Structure 1
Amino acid sequence: MTRLRAAHAFFAERGVQVVALETAGDNAVYAWDDAGTAHAFEHVQVFPDAVFEALPPRAIVDAVTAALDRLDPGAVVINSYSAPDAQAALLWCRRNRRVAVCLMESKADDADRTAAREWVKARLVRQFDAALAGGTPQVAYLRQLGFPTEAAFLTCDAVDNDFFHLGAEAARDAPEAVRHLPGLHSPEPFFLASNRFVARKNLDRLLRAYARYRQRAAAPWRLVMLGDGDQRDALERIVADDDIDGVTFAGFRQIAELPAYYGLASAFVHTALVEQWGLVVNEALAAGLPVIVSERVGSATDLVRDGETGYTFDPTDLDALADRLVQVAAMSAEARARMGQRGQTVVEGWSPEQFARGMWEAVSAGRARSGRGPSLALRAILTAMWGLSREVGSYYAIPE
């Protein structure tokens, strides 16, 4: 909601209303608590009591279309292109000659690409009038799909930098106030990792690289792992079977607790094999941490500057990751602090305010292209896709 609040404020200053249209009140991926706070902007939920992944695509399409008919917006900023609600919104914009802006996180190396799927995807993406992309890799992929890069703007990937910066500083100023949280019981330095425990996050390699690091370090740092998921049992078995000391599984933490972990950590590590962006990197940089980030993470291109804000590595190379852990742990506290400060400066360019400005620029640029109706290819593709699946959980025929 941070980005929406920023967009609401930015657009309101220019006499334009922002309405948030949400398809479902819950999802099967994240267990975030409902913040329960009132919003300054209008917030409409199409299926307030439903889990998104369990809904039939055709029901989503019909309900989202009806909601847009009622709201009748001049422009729709659409979260990606691969889900039925996004596609319904795109088709509505084309039929009604309204501006359609794609929030684009995909990059070329996210998945194995086939000519047929890329052909379909290109014809979907080109029906948007403008795009608000995560960063440099996302703009490059738009260009590869035939989208005009002069209609692509930055950035859709931002967090509340002040929240993480101020919360981390508060934890550093009063560490005893957060020692009750799992993994924060000790003043010893530690690496922090925050992920869903799924295969693509590459956490088994993180544990094995960490074990190699411990063998090389005279006074090894701990490793605190935030998150949960279907890989947790397997990861705990690796720790037990390989007798890896120093690892704490702190579980899934709500957002209010996260700044304390960033504040007391000494460095952040993110090892994903596939990651379109990785907002946890934004969070860590905003909190002033040096970061060690897989070169396959989307944010690494723009946010991780080797030797300045952190380091990148090949996520399939255990020794390369162990080397980075050794390298950062060997830095002085002062050197790590300087690196963290440079990271905070860099991530200021990926702020909610920049999201709002980019959204304004994208909507403005999209007006020149918005007079098109839906192409025959778009209608044929969507008709076929909407008839293939009974629920969203099995819908994604086109990997992002």
Structure 2
Amino acid sequence: MKVLYLYTELLGYNLPIFEKLVNDYGATVDVIHWSQNKLTPFVPSANTDSTKITFHDRSAFTPKAIVDFVTELSPDLVYVTGWMDRGYFPALRKLKSKGVTIVAGLDSQWTGSVRQQIGALLIRWVYKKLFYNYVWVPGPLQYEYARRIGFKKTEIICNLLSGNSDLFSLAAAALDQEKLNNYPETFLYVGRFAKAKGIDILIQAFDLYKEKYKGTWKLNCIGNGPLHDDLISAAKRNDGITVESFLSQSDLVTRAKNAGAFILPSRYEPWGVVAHEFSTAGLPLIFSERVGARPQFLIDHLNGYTFYNDSPQDLAYQMHLMSSHNVTKLIQMGHMSAHLASQITPEITTASLMSVKTREMRY
């Protein structure tokens, strides 16, 4: 079987899916993806040894060149990251006209905005007919979006996004070992240093946590982005903050072992694979109410806390609550995070994609 991915930017969590397709389903995988204007320095070809996974630079392809490429490749199954890259449209139209199964990814939440409503009409009456057979979503908030753009229940696949469960679960092993004896009093953030990710909220909240609540936990921020200098300035005036650049996934597992809770303060997070990764790592969680993965991985007071969007005051209070717990409670919360995270794995995600082919074979 030949599987073709028409992608935007690849990240580390994509590789286990490709490897599952190769190892569990005997597929060859070709991936066209953007390598220019990347938000992170991840290089996929340097992180896999499989000879059956081939990466192609999207910037080297015109729309016509993509048509020529897919015509020669003749894939059996195509996954495309939604409708962001219109340069893929001519190839999708040709492939669908030939009966190739095409699955579109959708990780956005339905907000009901005017833009979404107009876009929904375009997708329902034009794009769906011309380009797609199925839509693939990660969770319930995205499922609603898929229904509103015209996909039937039988045309919606779940479990789109999975972190590298095998890798991040190694950090959860520390719960009953190192952490039980010496629980790390550190909040962890991993992601883009950008306003949309709520970095400014996090900085203000940590200041409040230290000043108002006399908090003793530290804050470790890992990533890159336009607000990097703001974080550096905050770290200079507050020695409880440390800032690190983008790290490999194996290094992130080490950081998770040395962290006491994970914070995702995004103003808008369509899904957030990091939510799954650090749930799998066994960390108690503090999420903004706008995090798309929140209903899947966080149950308030069971394994973490939700704070009101755009509220440093509420985030500071939730940080205070978290750091006030004793070790026994924090360990329990960490185990529950890992339990909730086990609902999705690369194996489940890959099988969900392949289910469209087994379904077609059945009928």
Aligned partners of 2:43 and 2:173: how far apart in 1?
A: 24
Which one-letter code corresponds to 1:103 in the other structure? G
SS at match of 2:357: helix
Aligned partners of 1:364 and 1:131: how far apart in 2?
A: 16
Does the CA-based 8 Å contact 2:194-2:225 persist in structure 1?
yes
Does the CA-based 8 Å contact 1:270-1:294 persist in structure 2?
yes
Shift of 1:348: 1.2
Shift of 1:334: 1.3
Shift of 1:121: 3.4
Aligned partners of 1:91 and 1:330: how far apart in 2?
A: 56
Closer, same or farther: CA 154–8 of 1 in aligned 2, 3 Å: farther
Give structure 1 stretches of 5+ with no counterpart: 176-185, 370-400
Closer, same or farther: CA 365–133 of 1 in aligned 2, 3 Å: farther
Tell whether 2:151 aligns with 1:163.
no
1:210 to 175, 200, 206: 206
Aligned partners of 2:62 and 2:303: how far apart in 1?
A: 42
Which one-letter code corresponds to 1:28 in the other structure? K
Tell whether 2:209 aligns with 1:199.
no
Closer, same or farther: CA 35–163 of 1 in aligned 2, 3 Å: farther
Closer, same or farther: CA 270–37 of 1 in aligned 2, 3 Å: closer
Shift of 1:365: 4.3
- What corresponds to 1:100 in structure 2? 102
- What corresponds to 1:128 in structure 2? 132
Closer, same or farther: CA 173–362 of 1 in aligned 2, 3 Å: same
Tell whether 2:144 aligns with 1:140.
yes
Shift of 1:218: 4.1
TM-score norm. by structure 2 comes to 0.85
Does the CA-based 8 Å contact 2:268-2:290 persist in structure 1?
yes
- What corresponds to 1:116 in structure 2? 118
Does the CA-based 8 Å contact 2:187-2:260 persist in structure 1?
yes
- What corresponds to 1:153 in structure 2? 157
Aligned partners of 2:109 and 2:270: how far apart in 1?
A: 6
Tell whether 2:273 aligns with 1:279.
yes
1:331 to 317, 321, 325: 325
Shift of 1:18: 3.6
Which one-letter code corresponds to 1:150 in the other structure? T
SS at match of 2:56: strand
Does the CA-based 8 Å contact 2:184-2:259 persist in structure 1?
no
Which one-letter code corresponds to 1:272 in the other structure? S
Aligned partners of 2:32 and 2:52: how far apart in 1?
A: 11
Aligned partners of 1:11 and 1:218: how far apart in 2?
A: 54
1:305 to 284, 299, 320: 299
SS at match of 1:212: helix
Closer, same or farther: CA 327–342 of 1 in aligned 2, 3 Å: same
Shift of 1:37: 5.1
Closer, same or farther: CA 227–358 of 1 in aligned 2, 3 Å: same
- What corresponds to 2:346 in structure 1? 352
Tell whether 2:266 aligns with 1:256.
no
SS at match of 1:195: strand
- What corresponds to 1:183 in structure 2? none
Aligned partners of 1:261 and 1:364: how far apart in 2?
A: 40
SS at match of 1:227: strand
Closer, same or farther: CA 331–259 of 1 in aligned 2, 3 Å: same
Shift of 1:208: 0.5
Does the CA-based 8 Å contact 2:21-2:29 persist in structure 1?
no
- What corresponds to 1:9 in structure 2? 23
Give structure 2 stretches of 5+ with no counterpart: 1-14
- What corresponds to 2:284 in structure 1? 290
2:75 to 69, 73, 76: 73
Which one-letter code corresponds to 2:251 in the other structure? E
Tell me which moved more, 216-225 or 278-287: 216-225
Aligned partners of 1:101 and 1:287: how far apart in 2?
A: 30
- What corresponds to 1:64 in structure 2? 66
Shift of 1:86: 4.2
Higher relative contact order (CA 8 A, sep 6+): 1
Aligned partners of 2:248 and 2:265: how far apart in 1?
A: 21
TM-score norm. by structure 1 comes to 0.78
Closer, same or farther: CA 202–260 of 1 in aligned 2, 3 Å: same
Closer, same or farther: CA 45–7 of 1 in aligned 2, 3 Å: closer
Deviation per CA, 1:201-232: give whole Å up to 9, x if none.
Answer: 11101111111111233452001110111111
SS at match of 1:233: helix
Quote the sequence identity (%): 21
Does the CA-based 8 Å contact 1:304-1:311 persist in structure 2?
yes
Does the CA-based 8 Å contact 2:235-2:243 persist in structure 1?
no
Shift of 1:275: 1.2
Shift of 1:174: 7.6
